[in-house]
Each structure stands twice: as structure tokens, then as C-alpha cells.
Chains A and B, each alone.
Chain A
Amino acid sequence: MLIGIPANQQRNETRQPKDCSVEMSGYLDTIAKQRCKASFAKIFSYFAPRLRSYALKQMGNEAIAMELVQDTMSNVWQKAHLFNAEKGSPSTWIFTIARNIRFDMLRKLQNRKEDVCSDDLWPVLCEQTADTKIAPLDEQITLEQVGQYFNELPAKQQRVIEAIYIDGKSQQEVADELEIPLGTVKSRTRLALQRLKDMLREYD
């Protein structure tokens, strides 16, 4: 029995999947920009029952299946602005959200205390633009800042860092010069860099 929020369009003529996909993309866009409930109702009325069948097949439990439907549709409602029609169809985007939620739910159900979550594997809900453009930590730090912390390093580490990063010597050259094993040069370098990194994080 069908009741509730009526859709404006009740035409049932056959349309190309492509057209439907464009239309669905349009709804996602209106949801993102205007929090439009009518648009969300169209997406919801189509996807929710189908997600339920998928979830039931996968999880085999009605309550859990409905939880998956609800979480997926909440994500669609709240994160519609992250949908990018150039990267795929609305179906693909929504499947990906459901897959990720299922993955995280299974993880919790099996009580595996794994830290791996769906975001680690399929970062679909992230802004996927420009993230690689962010300068890594070591490029955002000015030399003065480093210099300030550099003085706090133990003298032995300072000598190694200075020789390698300021004089540009190889680790082998430093080892020969200071008459210490190469492994020691390596570990001092590593410790010093780690220490600098820690200090930068701490005082930031």
C-alpha cells in the first residue's frame, strides 16, 4: 500500500537509465544546496526499499538491515554536497555509502577491535579534492622554527643533523668523519628527526 508524500511526477513511461541518473543527480544537488525535502523524498522512495533488500541479503536480520538503510539514507541527506556527478552516478555513490556502512557494521558486530574503518579503504565520504596539495608537515615549517628546536637536541644528534641536512654529506661520510658506525649515524638521524617532529607537534 502506497501512502504518504506524493511525488510530483507520476509518469511511468520508460526512460533511459541515463536520463534517470541525471535527474537523480539533480535531486542530490538540490538536497545539497537547499536541503530540499521533496528532492530527498524522490531519492528516498526509490533507494530505501532497494537498500533494504540488499541489506537483508547481506546481513540476514531485519533490524540490522533497517539500521543500514537508515544510516545510508542519513548520509545521503547530510552529505549530498560531497556527491560529484563527474565521478560516478548517484547509484554508484549510494551503493558505495551502503557498502562502507555495512563494512563498519560488520566490524562492530564481529566485535573485532580493528582500527581499520571504511574511510581507510574507500574514502568516499571525504572531500576528495586537493587533499594531496596540502603541504606536508616538514614543508610548512620555517627554518627558524626548526633552528629553535634544533638547539634542544642532544649535541651528538645536532652534529649528525647538521652534517647531513646543512652540509649535505652522506650518512657514510658522516660516519667516517666522526669515526662512528653507520648504524649509529642512522639511528641518531632518525631519533633527531623524530624528536624534532614531536617538538613541532607539541608546541604548535
Chain B
Amino acid sequence: MIKHHPSESALRSFVEGALPSTKAILISAHCDMCPTCLSKTRSFTESIAVDMFPDLRQNPTILREYISMFESITNDSTLLNPSYSQTLDTRITLDGREFVLPATLARFADRIGEWSHLAGKLWHASVNIGGGSLAQFIYMDRGASVPEHTHKGNELTLVINGKFTDGGKCYESGDFIELNQQHTHMPTAENYEGCLVVTMLDMPLHFTSGWAMLINPLSQLYFKVNTNN
């Protein structure tokens, strides 16, 4: 059961289209998995629509300044872009297991890079969502743990499948986790099958530098081990 959700205000901003796209993608993917938040976004959408169009009494006629617009729309014989194709491969195979991606992430399935071994039982693959922003899939094999770390921007994580614990909390499929720079954490996958998450830092610049450090085999600062522990 999903216990961790985006805040109401985040959902509202998402509906308004006011969020940065990285966060919007993760919230959209969460809504693919979470009926509660999906229904909240629907009711937010309705209430915004009611505010915007409060009184559906008709205007008797089209205002003068809109006549030419009306004509050009109705006389335009060219069609707009065809509907977005939804024939997408929504699964990825990892370690012989199939993972079904939420529809929002499935749209980016063809942009998932090669999986590579990170450290211990951790695997990762980046997803290019454009604009210099990278999302990362992280697969924690059974018993894996990410060494304690902290980061600059906010870290957003969505659990796609599986279970992991972090700071005494347990996160499961569909959970949405938002951490800021004050959090130092050490996620651990306990589940027998391992755990697949997608994670994003909402500040692309910081993320890029984190990424650069990550791919440098000599300085895995992003996942720097806290040797004091």
C-alpha cells in the first residue's frame, strides 16, 4: 500500500502546470500508480476549471475581435498533429525480471541508457529527459545498500517495484519520496527480489555534477562511503 505521497500543494501546482518538468514527471508517474493522488489531481483540475469558467451561461454572440479567429479555425482543413502514439514498450528487463513502468516513464523507455554496475549490489541507468536533466533508474539487488550520502538539491524518488528502508522508514512500490539537502541517508533494499526506483535531483546543474562524479570510477562522491560509521 502506498503511504508516501506528494504534498497537496505539490499536486495542485502539478495540475496548474507550475512545476519544473523533472518534478512533474515524477508526480505524474506517481499518479499512474496511486489512485488516491490521481483522484485528487482530477478534483483539483475540476475546481480550477470551475474557478476559471464560473458561470456557463452562454454569450449570445461571438465578440467582434474573435470573429477572424473563429473563421480561421473552422476553415482550416489541415489537421493538427495526430494523437500521441501510445504503443509503447512499458517493461524493462533486469536481472531476468520484468518491471512494468508507469505510463509516464514508459514514454521515456527508449531513452534509458545502458545499465551499469555502480557498487556492491547496485545498478543504475540514466534516462535522458532532455534539457540537461537526467533521471536515474537505480536497481538495488537483494540486500544492497547505498552508502550514506547527502546531496545538494532536492532528491525525488519513486519506487517502481520492490521495497527498501531508509532512516527507519519503509518504502514500497508507488511511494513518492522527497528529500532535501538536510537529509543524509542510506537506503537499503531488504526485499528478496530487489528494488527498482527512479530518482531525480530537481536542480539539473547539481545533478549533472553529481552525475559526472558518479561516472568517474576514481571518485564516487555521489555515493561516498561514510567511513566514520
A interface residues, Cβ below 8 angstroms from B: 1-7, 9-10, 12, 14-15, 17, 20-21, 23-24, 37, 40-42, 44-50, 54, 66, 69-70, 73-75, 77-79, 82, 88-89, 91-92, 94-96, 99-100, 102-103, 106-107, 112-116, 118-123, 125-127, 131-132, 134, 136-138, 164, 170-171, 183, 186, 189-190, 193
23 sampled A-B residue pairs with Cβ under 8 A: A14-B57, A17-B50, A17-B56, A46-B57, A48-B70, A49-B63, A49-B66, A69-B69, A73-B70, A74-B73, A79-B80, A95-B53, A96-B45, A114-B130, A115-B128, A118-B17, A120-B28, A123-B103, A126-B84, A131-B86, A132-B103, A134-B87, A183-B117
| Docked-complex contact B91 and A136, CB < 8 angstroms | yes
Are A92 and B89 CB-contacts (below 8 A) given A40-B74, A114-B129, A171-B95? no
User: B45: which of A5, A95, A121 is its contact (CB, 8 Å)?
Assistant: A95
B25 at the interface (CB under 8 A from A): yes
The reply to whether A121 and B104 form a contact with Cβ atoms under 8 Å apart is: yes
- Residue B10 interfacial (CB < 8 Å): no
B204 → A minimal CB distance (Å)? 10
Assess the B62–A112 pair: CB atoms within 8 A.
Answer: no
- Knowing A21-B56, A42-B58, A126-B86 are in contact, say whether A116-B25 is a contact too (CB < 8 A): yes
CB 8 Å contact bits of B84-127 with A (1 = contact, 0 = none) = 10110111010110000001100110000001010000000000
CA distance A45 to B81 in the complex (A): 25
Decide yes or no whether B181 CB sits under 8 A from chain A: no
Secondary structure of the A side of the interface? helix
CB atoms of B45 and A92 under 8 A apart = yes
Do the beta carbons of A116 and B55 come within 8 Å of each other?
no
Of the candidates B53, B66, B80, which one forms a contact with A78 in the assembled complex, judged by CB atoms under 8 Å apart?
B80
Report A-chain residues with C-beta under 8 Å of the C-beta of B104.
Answer: 120-121
Prevailing SS type, chain B contact patch? mixed
Using A78-B80, A114-B21 as known contacts, say yes or no to A95 and B52 having CB atoms under 8 A apart. yes
Number of interface residues of B (CB under 8 A): 57
Among A48, A170, A171: residue with most chain B CB under 10 A: A48
